Amino acid sequence: MRNALRPHALAACLALGACSPAEMWGDSPAPWEEVDAFYYPDASDLTAHEESRKVGNLEACRDWAFGRAELYGDPDMRRSTYECGIGPHKRSDFGGLTVYRRTVQ
């Protein structure tokens, strides 16, 4: 039911200029937002990572991350971790870091 109301709520929100993707979609990507996947083989060292850009959606992000974990011999991610970056991403002035609207697992 909640998804059925989204188009109407979005239209009203946009018409009033009173909404943002965070307010409308929360932890889910908006239809126009990209999702990037990040896998960290060692959860205690987030400087070492692998990434896949524009994976499509959160399910694809999770599938990709668990696939990487399987390749590293850690299928239940006891040593590793991952995150999914939900766009839009922007370059900041801090060393070219990418900033996401939200990151989730």
In a domain, 15, yes or no: no
Q: How far apart are CA 99 and CA 90, in angstroms?
A: 5
**Is 13 a member of any domain?**
no
Write down the pLDDT at residue 93. 66
**Percent of all residues in the chain with a pLDDT value above 70, rounded to a whole number:** 70
Contact, 35 vs 29, CB < 8 A? yes
Quick: pLDDT tens for 81-91: 999 999 856 66
In the numeric block, the tokens 């299928």 are attached to 75
**Which pair of tokens denotes residue 99?**
């900033």
Exposed/middle/buried for 44, CB within 10 Å: 0-12, 13-18, 19+?
Answer: exposed
Q: Does the residue 56 lie in any domain?
A: yes
Number of domains in the chain: 1
Residue 20 lies in a domain: no
Domain range holding 78?
25-104
Q: What pLDDT score does 37 carry?
A: 96
Binned at pLDDT 50, 70 and 90, residue 73 comes out as very high
In this structure, is residue 81 part of a structural domain?
A: yes
- Whether residue 4 is contained in a domain is answered as no
Structure tokens that stand for 66 in this block: 């668990």
94 pLDDT more than 70: no
Q: What is the mean pLDDT of residues 15-19?
A: 58
77 Cβ contact partners less than 8 Å away, ≥ 6 residues apart: 43, 66, 69
